[in-house]
Amino acid sequence: MKEVLRLDDCVSSLRGVGAAKAKQLEKLGILSVRDLLYYFPRAYERRGDIRKLSEAEENLSNSFLLTVGTKVTTAKIRSGFSISKFRAFDESGSVEIMFFNSPFVKDVFHLGTVFRFYGKLYFHKGRPTLSNPKYEAYIEGIPLKNYVPVYSLTEGLTSNAVTKLVEQCMTDALSALSDPLPEHIRLSLKLPTLSYAIRAAHFPQTDAMLSAALRRLAFDEMLLFALQIAYAKKERDTRIGVTIPPCKVSELTALLPYELTASQKRSVNEIYRDMTTINKEGYTPTMARILVGDVGSGKTVCAALAAYIAIKGGFQVAFMVPTEILARQHYTELSSLFSKLGIRTSLLLGASTQSEKNRVYSEAEKGETDIIIGTHALLSDKVIFKNLGLVITDEQHRFGVVQRATLKEKNSAAHLLVMSATPIPRTLALALYGDLDVSRLTELPAGRKPIDTFVVDESYESRLIAFIEKQVNEGGQCYVVCPAIEQDEEEEYFSPERLNVSPTVTSVSKMKSAIEYAERLSTLLPSLRIGCLHGKMKAAQKDEIMRDFSAGKIHVLVSTTVIEVGVNVPNSNLMIVQNAERFGLSQLHQLRGRIGRGSRKSYCVLVTGDNAESAHARLSVMKRTTDGYEIAEQDLLQRGPGDFFSQNLSDNFRQSGGISFRFAKLCEDTSLFDSAFSTAKSIIQSDPSLDHPDHQALKKILITAKISDVASLS
C-alpha cells in the first residue's frame, strides 16, 4: 500500500483489497478512495444506548450490557440445523440468548464474561429471548462505539469490512479533501467543515455530531441544486421568446357566468405581463410559469385566458393533460367557450383514429387550428405547429422534465405555463418548482360548498355502508379510495415508512385493496352499480369507467389514487378513504377535492385502521380546514421538508441527469432550504460564471453534475 493515500487512488491501494474484493466494491459503485469516503452508511445501530433488560422495548432493537450466566449448550434440531443457547443477566433480570447454526459461540461466551449485545428482545414461551444478537466483548477502560454504521452491501461484503476500509481512508485522504463551500458561508450558517462532516457521518460519537454532519451534507446537496436552478433561471431569462401583442381579455371574461376571484385576476395579469412585456434589451424572455391552486380554484379558466391572449396575438397553443378523459373534458368546455369567439379548437388523443390524427396534424401545420388539447399524443414528431406561441401542461407533477422539454422543442421560443393542484408550502415552493415563476390561486370561486370531514375507525363499516346507500338513493354518487390494487400486493410498497408517516402508525393494519373491496361492496349493496378503477388498467378501460361514472351509470366507484387526476363529476358527494393513515395529508386533500363540486351537501370520511391517538390527531387536520396551503404546512411540520423535497423534486430532476438527493430528503430544517436557495441566488448574482477563487470548487462539481441539463426545466 502507498504511504499516503490520495483521493483518486484506486481502492486496490487499500490494505486487504485484492482483485475479488475490488470487484465487490465496484458493484457498489466504489472505484476510488473518494468513492469510499462518500459511500455513507444507510443506517446506524445505536449501541451506546445501553438499557437494562427490564427497560427494553419489545420488538425494537436494544443494546444491553450482560454477563454470561450459564455455559453454552448446542442441540441439533434436524439435519444441518442447530441451536446454541445460554443465559445472560444484568441487575434487572436475565434473558435467554440463542444462536442458530453457530456452534462456534461456545468458544466465545464463557461464564462470567461481559458482552454488549444488540438485538430485538421478544418473548418465547413467556421468557425474554434474544435471537442471533450482535455482540462485542466488553473490556473495562476500552470504550465501544456508540454508533455502529450499517452500509448497503453486495454478496461477499460485510458491513464490518466496509467499516475497516473507510477507517483506513480517514487520516491521509480526508486531510487532502478540499472544502468547496466558501468559508464565510460555512461560518455564517454554523456548519462544520466537510472533512468533519464526512468523518462524523461514518463514525458519529454523539447525536449532536451526527446531526451536524447530516446538516452539512444536506446543505451541500441543496446548495448545488439551488445553484443549478439559479443558473438555469439566469439562462432562461436571456432566451428570446415570442412577443405577444397586447390585447384585452374582456371579450372572453364577458362570456363567463361568474366573476374571477382576486387571485385569478392577479395570476392572469402575471401571465399577461410575461408574454407581452419587452425588456430593456428589446426582447420578451420566454415565460416559464407555474399556476398553483387547490382543486376547483379555477386554474383551467386562467389557462383559457392565457391561451386567448396567445391566440389573439396570432399564435397557436398546445394544451397537454395526463389522461384522455381529462383531455375530453377540457375540450368540451373550452371548445364550447372558444367557438363563440371564432377560436378553432382541436382534440388529439392516443385513441384518436388515424384519420382524426392526420386531420389534426394537417390543421396544426397549416395554421388551421388555434389550440390543440391532447395527451402525450402531442409529443409525436408528426405534430408540427405553424406558429406555436404557448405550451400549457395540466397537473405538472404528472409530467417529467423531459416530456415538457419535448413539447417545448416544437418552438423553443414558445412560452410555458404549467398547472398544479398540489398546494406546496411557501418555504419549499422554490425548490419544488425549480426555475419556474409561481402564480398562486389562494381562494375558491364563490358557490363551492364546504365538505364535512370525519375520521373514524374500521368499526364504523356497517354505518358507512348504510350511509353510501342513503346518499345514492338521494341521487348522489360515491368514491371509495383504497391504497392497494390487489390483496396480494407487496405490503412494503405501501408501508408507513415509504409514505413517511411512521411516527403516527403504531399498528400496521391490513390494506384494503380496490378489487377485493369492490367485490365486497357489490355483495353488501346488491341494488347499486359498483365500479372499480386502478392504475393497472389500460387507458381506454379507465376512460370508459370514468365516463360511466360521470354519466351516473356507476353509483359507487372503488379506486386507487388514480382519481387524483380525474374528471369533474359534480354529482359525486361522498368520498371514503380506506387506510387513511397510510396517506399524506396533502394527498388526502387532493382526493377530497374530487367531491364538493355540485349543489349536493358533500362528505369525506377518512377510515383509519390505526387506532392510535397520534394517527387520529394527524388526520384531524383534515377535519379542521379545507385550505390546501394550511394542510400542506401541517404536512410539512409532521413529515419534514425532506419528504416533499425527495418525492416531488428528486424523481423529476433525475430525468435531467442532475444531482441525486441522499441527505436533503432526510432534512427536517426548513430554514436550511431557504439558506441554500438564498445563498445560491447571491452567488450567481455576484459571480454569474463562478470564476471567483472562492467558487472554483463549486464550479468544478457543477460541471461534473451536468449543470447544462437543468436548462431543460424551462
CATH number of the domain that residue 526 is part of: 3.40.50.300
Last residue of a domain, one of 605, 625, 645: 625
Do residues 139 and 168 share a domain?
A: no
Residue 662 in this model has a pLDDT that exceeds 60: yes
Do residues 114 and 195 share a domain?
A: no
Is residue 537 domain-resident? yes
Q: Give the pLDDT band (50/70/90) at residue 493.
A: very low
Burial of 59 per CB tally in 10 Å (0-12, 13-18, 19+): exposed
Collapsing DSSP states into helix, strand and coil, what is residue 232?
A: helix
Do residues 329 and 382 share a domain?
A: yes
Dist CA 223 CA 672 (whole Å)? 10
The number of folded domains in the chain is: 4
Is residue 467 domain-resident? yes
Residue numbers of the domain that contains 332 = 244-277+298-420
**Amino acid sitting at position 22:** A
CB 581 within 8 A of CB 506: no
Collapsing DSSP states into helix, strand and coil, what is residue 199?
A: helix
Do residues 25 and 76 share a domain?
A: no
Collapsing DSSP states into helix, strand and coil, what is residue 696?
A: helix
Do residues 37 and 62 share a domain?
A: no
Orientation angle between helical segments 613-624 and 628-639, nearest 10 degrees: 160
Is residue 517 domain-resident? yes
Residue 508 in this model has a pLDDT that exceeds 60: no
Q: Give the pLDDT band (50/70/90) at residue 492.
A: very low
Residue 652 in this model has a pLDDT that exceeds 80: no
SS (H, E, C) 118-137: EEEEEEECCEEEEECCEEEE
pLDDT of 665 reads: 63
pTM exceeds 0.75 for this model = no
* Partners of residue 393 on adjacent β-strands: 320, 418
What are the residues whose beta carbons fall under 8 Å from the beta carbon of 435, sequence distance 6 or more?
A: 229, 230, 232, 233, 236, 288, 710, 713, 714
Is residue 669 domain-resident? no
Residue entry with cell 440445523 = 81
DSSP letter assigned to residue 189: T
Which range, 226-240, 412-426, 488-502, has the best average confidence (pLDDT)? Answer: 412-426
Is residue 165 domain-resident? yes
Is residue 678 domain-resident? no
Is residue 211 domain-resident? no
Dist CA 24 CA 14 (whole Å)? 14
pLDDT in tens, 596-635: 888 889 999 999 876 667 677 888 889 888 877 788 777 7
Do residues 351 and 390 share a domain?
A: yes
Collapsing DSSP states into helix, strand and coil, what is residue 174?
A: helix
Do residues 482 and 611 share a domain?
A: yes
Cell readout for 310 is: 396567445
Domain of residue 90, CATH code:
2.40.50.140
pLDDT in tens, 417-442: 988 877 766 656 655 566 678 888 88
Do residues 116 and 253 share a domain?
A: no
Per the prediction, the chain carries an average pLDDT of 84
Do residues 265 and 175 share a domain?
A: no
Residue entry with cell 354519466 = 551
pLDDT in tens, 166-219: 998 887 777 778 889 999 999 999 999 999 999 999 999 888 999 899 999 989
Do residues 95 and 165 share a domain?
A: no
Do residues 20 and 138 share a domain?
A: no
Do residues 343 and 383 share a domain?
A: yes
CA dihedral (433, 436, 438, 441) positive or negative? negative
Average pLDDT, integer, range 655-683: 70
pLDDT in tens, 329-343: 899 999 999 999 999
